[in-house]
Amino acid sequence: MEMLLSSLAILGGFLLLIWSADRFVLGASGIALNSGVSPLVIGLTIVGFGTSAPEMIVSGVAAYQGTPNLAVGNALGSNITNIALVLGITALVTPLMVDSKILKREYPIMFMIMILAWGLLWDGELSHSDGYILIAGMFALMIFITLMGLREKKQLNTKDPLDEEFNEEIPRDMATSTAFLWLFIGLAILLLSSRMLIWGAVNIAHAFQISDLVIGLTIVAIGTSLPELAASITSALKGEHEIAIGNIIGSNMFNLLGVLGIPGIMTGALFGSSIKLDPSVLSRDYPVMMVLSVMLFVFAYGFKGKGRLNRLEGGVLLMCYIGYMIVIYQQST
């Protein structure tokens, strides 16, 4: 009976996470637009932050409930899932073109963030101070990307493809009171659904004697990446390839900075200790994430013009994900 309830809690938590994250972004975008913020700024900050909201909330709840390695697994597993599973499936559905100069600038930034996080985790711990560094980096990233995007747009006096696509996606004609209501409802249900998800995931992990890290890397990571999968496929089918790939790059940067930073801060504040990382984080999971990121760079970056992620490359990414899941299964059993 308890296993059934745990499974239902995971399923219900995932469904509510997806819905509430969408409502949260809708409300925040509506408030920002009514305040005079441009669609480009909203897209690069609120939408990018919002797609990582499920991971961030789950990470915070996991740390609060004393399972910080689940939070670490969620952060790394979501990045692996975003690149190999989400972009792999999306590219199989329709090849993706990459033309935005903003996205091309974000690739090296993503690698810099990976190197920063690697350096902080190299000692086998995620400390209180590490968490503050990562969170500070997240806010610095939001400011930097926004300022650079606006400056480039002003200098060229042209619209970036990403700007045009965000302009079409941002909700209009929404009253500020309605936007605040959706923001509040979205945040409240994000918290509730995260608690449901963590409760069910931890129960199943203990029942099958699986580590919290593995649960975070697999079940939780896949579930919290469902919004990115839905957004990427929908955007690609609409021909909005910039948003499809931009969501993934932005989400991965926020995952490393915010989703890793939150449990570091909370564990230090609540329990006065650092998070002791499972050894496989540095020997298996982080290297896999970095290799997949390099593959994405090689596949999608346009060295001589427009970049393109075709079906063959999407299939390669998807096969890498399946292979990674097999390795985790074998090692965990």
Q: Would the pLDDT of 136 be above 80?
A: yes
**Residues 94-117, mean pLDDT to the nearest whole number:** 82
Q: Would the pLDDT of 99 be above 90?
A: no
Among 120-124, 251-255, 271-275, 300-304, name the one with the lowest average pLDDT.
Answer: 300-304
**Residues 108-113, mean pLDDT to the nearest whole number:** 91
If one compares 285 and 199, the residue with the highest pLDDT of the two is 285
- High-pLDDT (> 90) share of the chain, %: 31
**How crowded is residue 254: how many other Cβ atoms within 10 Å of its Cβ?**
27
- High-pLDDT (> 70) share of the chain, %: 84
Q: Would the pLDDT of 214 be above 70?
A: yes
State the angle between helix axes of 286-300 and 311-332 in degrees (0 to 180), rounded to the nearest 10: 170
**How crowded is residue 188: how many other Cβ atoms within 10 Å of its Cβ?**
13
pTM of full prediction above 0.85: no
- Alpha-carbon gap, residue 261 to 264, rounded angstroms: 5
Q: Residue 296 belongs to what domain range?
A: 2-332
**Residues 81-97, mean pLDDT to the nearest whole number:** 92
What is the tally of structural domains in the chain?
1
CATH no. for residue 218? Answer: 1.20.1420.30
**Paired tokens of 62:** 């996991």
**pLDDT tier at 127 (50, 70, 90 boundaries)?**
very high
pLDDT at 80: 96
User: Of the ranges 95-99, 219-223, 261-265, which is most confident?
Assistant: 261-265
pLDDT at 43: 59
If one compares 8 and 234, the residue with the highest pLDDT of the two is 8
